[in-house]
Amino acid sequence: MFDRITPEEIWACTTCNACVQECPVNIDPVSIVLELRRYLCLEKSAAPRDLNIMFTNIENNGAPWQFSSEDSLKWATDAGIDVPLMANLFSNGKKNPNTCFGLAHQALLTIGLKR
């Protein structure tokens, strides 16, 4: 199989699903690509470098980043952003917070890219 398709080609797929939608005989190339990726990772330990770094981070930190999940809000603290946590809102008696912003949304608001 790998004399016909290279790892670069396997990892180049963006899983956009266009080939699945357009295939006239209902072949699902994306599931084949995903199985090939699984094979490369699990059997050959041949994931791309960035993915290997992420796997190591998950193994060591429980998160894909190079820091502990307990430090996941450190960027907000460093930037002076007060990000309310649902756990804190509930412990302060707020039962149904009517707005829940994701961190990315909060960050975009902070730097003025979103209204």
Considering the rule CB under 6 A, would residue 19 count as an interface residue with ligand SF4? yes
Distance CA 30, CA 28 (A): 6
Q: Which residues are CB-neighbours of 55 under 8 A, at least 6 positions away?
A: 47
- Applying the rule CB under 6 A, the residues between 37 and 66 that interact with ligand SF4 are none
Considering the rule CB under 6 A, would residue 9 count as an interface residue with ligand SF4? no
Considering the rule CB under 6 A, would residue 16 count as an interface residue with ligand SF4? yes
Distance CA 18, CA 43 (A): 28
Considering the rule CB under 6 A, would residue 13 count as an interface residue with ligand SF4? yes
- Per CB under 6 A, the list member of 2, 5, 17, 114 interacting with ligand SF4 is 17
Which residue number, 11 or 65, has a Cβ lying nearer to ligand SF4? 11
Which residue number, 16 or 111, has a Cβ lying nearer to ligand SF4? 16
Cα 21 from chain centroid (whole Å): 24
Helices then strands, each counted (H, E), the chain? 7, 0
Q: Which residues contribute to the site for ligand SF4 (CB under 6 A)?
A: 13-19, 29-30
